[in-house]
Amino acid sequence: MRRNTFLYIPNIIGKIKKPIGAFWQWEQSNRFFLLYLTSFLLDAADGYAARYFHQSSELGALLDMLTDRCATAALLTLLSHLYKQYVLIFLFCIVLDGFSHWLQMIAGLASGTTSHKQAGRFTLLKIYYWRPVLTLACLLNELCFLCLYLLHFLSSSSDWSKLVHIVFYVSLPICILKQFISLLQVWSSYIIIFDTFTST
């Protein structure tokens, strides 16, 4: 008997992850940070659970991508409110993140390939899709945005502020690199979609 995909362990973790987002209270920085970080760690956990229990599914992958995009967009929208002078940068990141992942999904459906096989001619994408690199890049990208959030509330003279500044400056280059990688993903997806439809 085929098991209900909704009852897969990684999808259950995903269901737990979503309600956590409902308790985000951006005015209370400590609570927001802990809840967002917990949600992010659960996101990593459901991927490992899917591989460990052999419960990977298209539904799980789609739900995972959707919740990730919503969470990142929510955080970036919040940052655009806290740092109004950089609102265009945050809006660009929201659009780029959503569009690149959506286009990858379309390219995958059109060609029948996974995102890892969509790297094509781009060596940087092939390196990026190696799991340890992908995990570290995503972690540092989120940490960069979270540090920006915390720095808005922390006193500049506090020890915590100094630590958060260090983490921010360490993660910032990776965050910038990840935006460039998103542009490569858009380009690569366009090539795959074009090749798929012109060869049929």
Report pLDDT digits (tens) over 158-183. 888 999 999 999 999 999 999 999 99
Domain ranges of the chain: 5-198
State pLDDT tens for residues 48-81: 766 666 666 666 677 777 878 888 898 899 999 9
Task: Please tell me the distance from the alpha carbon of residue 11 to that of residue 50, in angstroms, as a whole number.
Answer: 8
Question: pTM to 2 decimals?
Answer: 0.81
- 125 close to 186: Cβ distance less than 8 angstroms: no
State yes or no: is 97 an active-site residue.
no
Confidence of residue 4 (pLDDT cuts 50, 70, 90): low
Q: Which of 43, 46, 64, 68 is catalytic?
A: 68
To 10 degrees, the CA torsion angle through 113, 174, 139, 150?
-140
**CATH number attached to the domain at 5-198:** 1.20.120
